[in-house]
Structure 1
């Protein structure tokens, strides 16, 4: 059902939703940027529509709302285990089409990849997604080429236009809330990007032979293995486990899972002292091919959603899109070396 609300009316909707949910959206964090006297756009709790940043891309993805950087799974003593309490409220997250497409990727990994992740499922079941329309592309976005510029799996869609808030609601429990504050019924169609300035082209036929291309060698010296690209990515799913033992009793503590990065030292350490992919070029190779080859071979679509945050955040100006666009030449290289 489509509705047109003024800002005051939508703020009342937010107040109503906040009884059951914490509402998150891209917002300005004053002086939170990488440099002094700079701001940062990332996800945080909002109370009003004016707090939402519609005209800039969030530098960090919505994923940090759904999946905490560090999540306590359970507490333990010598004799007992107690599961950690869930947040008292669910979450409503405002995000763009590419990020909503990322939800599909996370679900595939955590819920359909050989079993259901119990802890992810608990959080996922308590989340609603409000789609934000995109009228234009942002720097480094390539969602059109990845086919993620549109999404219709939202719980509600909202767009701010000419001082009015237009909503397409698909959640039955919210109908009365929107209807009571609507100025008028409206036909609301999600806006989406049809053209990006940055483009990627995936080769039609990637094979494991691409592993042996020399294109990965340059990243040995360029990449500093900081892991920022992984942490801002909405589809990276890797984590590590930590048992934290309390100081006053070394047999009591808690188990946490913490985000991990395939680009940092220690990610591939194994029992016995072994460590795989020690060179940064090897790590870049793994990341790129996982996003556009391995995952696609299993699920039928790429893992990358084209948000461009990895390109935005890299302190060494390494471009993921440039790496992908080199794959065609790399295929020709390894094909030419096949008979040697």
Structure 2
């Protein structure tokens, strides 16, 4: 059911929802940008609709809400182990179509990958999603070519319409609240992008032969292995485990799951002094092919959602979309057909 709201009406909805939910959305941090006198758009808690940034892309994704940068799994002593408490309140996340598609990828990895990750599931079961409509694409987006520019699996959608807001509701639990706070009832469809300036073309029949191409060597010098592309990506899920000890004997402490990056030094180090993918180009190859080859081979669709954040974040101006567009030539080279 669709509804139209004034600013006061939608704020009333948010106030009521905040009794049971933590509300997360893209917000502006004034002066928090990478350069002097620039702002940063990242996810944070909100109380009013004015805090939500509708007309700019967030530099970071929603991912840190479902997968915290550092998450305590359990505490231990010499004799006891105590599981860390789960979320005390449910959460509502406002996000765009590409990011809601990313949730599907995270679910695939953590819930349908041979086992269910207990800690992810207890968080995921307590989250609802409000789709933010996109009237036009942002810089470096290529969601249309990745097929992630529209989605129907949301609990509600929200769009700005002049000075008002319109919502399409699919959550029965919220129906009475939305109906009572709206100014009119109407048909609502979330806005979505139909074209982007950046275009990508993933070769049909992409095979592992592309890994033999020389294009990956170019990134040995260009990539500085900072890992920024991983941390802003909504579908990168690498993590490591850390035991934090409270006592000198190492028998009291906690175990944490900490976000990691396949692009940084040390990620592939193993016992005995071995290390895989020492060169930055090898790491770039692994990351790119995981996004547009390996994941699809296993689950039937691409891991990348075309949000373009990796291009936005790279300090060396390496373009992931350009890399994708080089794959056809790399495939011919790797398979010996060039």
| TM bucket normalised to smaller | over 0.9
In 2, the alpha carbon distance for the partners of 1:249 and 1:169 equals 55
Q: Secondary structure at the match of 1:257?
A: strand
**1:165, CA displacement in angstroms?**
1.1
Mapping for residues 10-89 of structure 1, pairs under 5 Å = 10-89=10-89
Cα deviations across residues 93-140 of structure 1 (Å, max 9, x unaligned)? 000000000000000000011111111000000100000000001000
Which has the higher mean CA deviation after the structures are superposed, 285-294 or 204-213?
204-213
Q: Secondary structure at the match of 1:218?
A: helix
**1:207, CA displacement in angstroms?**
1.2
Corresponding residue for residue 308 of structure 2: 308
Corresponding residue for residue 184 of structure 1: 184
In 1, the alpha carbon distance for the partners of 2:106 and 2:3 equals 31
- Is residue 2:112 matched to residue 1:112? yes
Normalised by the length of structure 1, the TM-score is 0.98
Cα deviations across residues 54-99 of structure 1 (Å, max 9, x unaligned)? 0000000011122110000111111111111123211100000000
Cα deviations across residues 289-326 of structure 1 (Å, max 9, x unaligned)? 00000001111110000000000000000010111100
Q: Secondary structure at the match of 2:139?
A: coil
In structure 1, stretches of 5+ residues that fail to align are none
Q: Secondary structure at the match of 1:256?
A: strand
Corresponding residue for residue 230 of structure 2: 230
Q: Secondary structure at the match of 2:252?
A: strand
Which has the higher mean CA deviation after the structures are superposed, 287-296 or 29-38?
29-38
**1:271, CA displacement in angstroms?**
1.3
Q: Secondary structure at the match of 1:166?
A: strand
- Is residue 2:326 matched to residue 1:326? yes
**1:184, CA displacement in angstroms?**
1.0
- Is residue 2:179 matched to residue 1:214? no
**1:52, CA displacement in angstroms?**
0.6
Corresponding residue for residue 93 of structure 1: 93
Corresponding residue for residue 197 of structure 2: 197
**1:225, CA displacement in angstroms?**
0.2
In 2, the alpha carbon distance for the partners of 1:326 and 1:138 equals 22
Normalised by the length of structure 2, the TM-score is 0.98
Corresponding residue for residue 242 of structure 2: 242
In structure 2, stretches of 5+ residues that fail to align are none
Alignment RMSD: 1.1
**1:335, CA displacement in angstroms?**
2.4
Q: Secondary structure at the match of 1:196?
A: coil
In 2, the alpha carbon distance for the partners of 1:64 and 1:186 equals 35
In 1, the alpha carbon distance for the partners of 2:90 and 2:165 equals 23
**1:247, CA displacement in angstroms?**
4.0
In 1, the alpha carbon distance for the partners of 2:32 and 2:249 equals 37
Q: Secondary structure at the match of 1:26?
A: strand
In 1, the alpha carbon distance for the partners of 2:132 and 2:209 equals 40
**1:249, CA displacement in angstroms?**
6.2
Q: Secondary structure at the match of 2:250?
A: strand
- Is residue 2:147 matched to residue 1:154? no
Corresponding residue for residue 126 of structure 1: 126
Moved runs in structure 1, 4+ residues, more than 6 A? none
**1:336, CA displacement in angstroms?**
2.3
Mapping for residues 221-300 of structure 1, pairs under 5 Å = 221-247=221-247, 250-300=250-300
Q: Secondary structure at the match of 1:168?
A: strand
Tell me the matched-pair count: 338
